[in-house]
Amino acid sequence: MPWKTIMQAIGFGDGGSMRAALEMLLGNLGLERFRRGRSQRNSVAFTIAVISLCAKLSKADGVSTYLEAKAFEEIFHVPPEERPNVERLYDLAKQDVTGYDAYADKIARLLADEPQLKRDVLEALFHIAAADGIFHGAEDLYLADVARRFGFSDAEYRAIRALFVRDADDPYSMLGVSPDISDEELKAHYRRLVREHHPDTLIARGVPEEFVDIANRKLAALNAAYDQIVKERAL
């Protein structure tokens, strides 16, 4: 959902209650230092942009999950009285990924002289991306573009990325084993992972549907990593 539509939906132009709530929410989200010396409009605009960028990231891989929304709440410590306002904006923004670049550019302009705060925002996005246990290629592209718009170099992006993501291009890292693991140990480890992450196992435990969806995605990633190793070893 584009910026103008978001602003209209929350009643910014007519002084709606959402506008006041977002101004107050800035401090609650742990971003109080941004407010100093800035207009109310810029403070609210920044809050909207951060929430929207996080929400759209959750849709980058095609599926917005409960864990990603929960990770957002954990990062920004959304107080109970503000949760309905944040959820309203988050749900509006997560409808699709379209327009994320405009939010990233807006944050970059508002934080032009504050690289550390831009890094804080980028690290928060990484935390959300990693919440479901899988870092997808689409999320990597999304975050790399956001980092570029924030003014970070490729080397700086890789350094921040390494704090949150084990390289998914390394199948051994994806399976959580060392490259020198024996064939027998590898097979046993893989079978254990499949049992642990199989949707039937989670359903039997009565876990929420969102966790089953995540299990399906993670199982697919584990299968792909194992297949790559099998081909490399000619097993």
Q: Which of 143, 162, 181 is the last residue of a domain?
A: 162
- 194 and 218: one domain? yes
Are 126 and 163 within 8 A, CB to CB? yes
Q: Quick one: CA dihedral 123, 125, 131, 132, positive or negative?
A: negative
- Average of pLDDT values for 13-38? 50
Enter the tokens of residue 107.
Answer: 């944050």
What is the per-residue pLDDT for 59? 82
Mean pLDDT of the chain: 75
- 176 and 156: one domain? no
Are 183 and 235 within 8 A, CB to CB? yes
- 175 and 157: one domain? no
| Residue range 186-235, pLDDT digits in tens | 999 999 888 877 878 767 766 555 556 656 766 877 888 899 899 999 88
Measured CA to CA, the distance from residue 172 to residue 32 in angstroms comes to: 42
| % of the chain exceeding 70 in pLDDT | 67
Tell me the CATH number at 47. Answer: 1.10.3680
Q: Residue 125: which domain range?
A: 3-162
What is the per-residue pLDDT for 12? 42
**Single pTM value for the model:** 0.60
Measured CA to CA, the distance from residue 216 to residue 108 in angstroms comes to: 36
pLDDT at 63 over 70: no
Residue labelled with tokens 């194992």: 226
Task: Tell me the DSSP string of 40-77.
Answer: HHHHHHHHHHHHHHHHHHTTTTS---HHHHHHHHHHHT
Q: Which of 162, 193, 217 is the last residue of a domain?
A: 162
Report residue 6's pLDDT band, with 50, 70 and 90 as the boundaries.
Answer: very low
- 22 and 114: one domain? yes
Q: How many CB atoms lie within 10 A of CB 2?
A: 12
Enter the DSSP assignment of 81: G
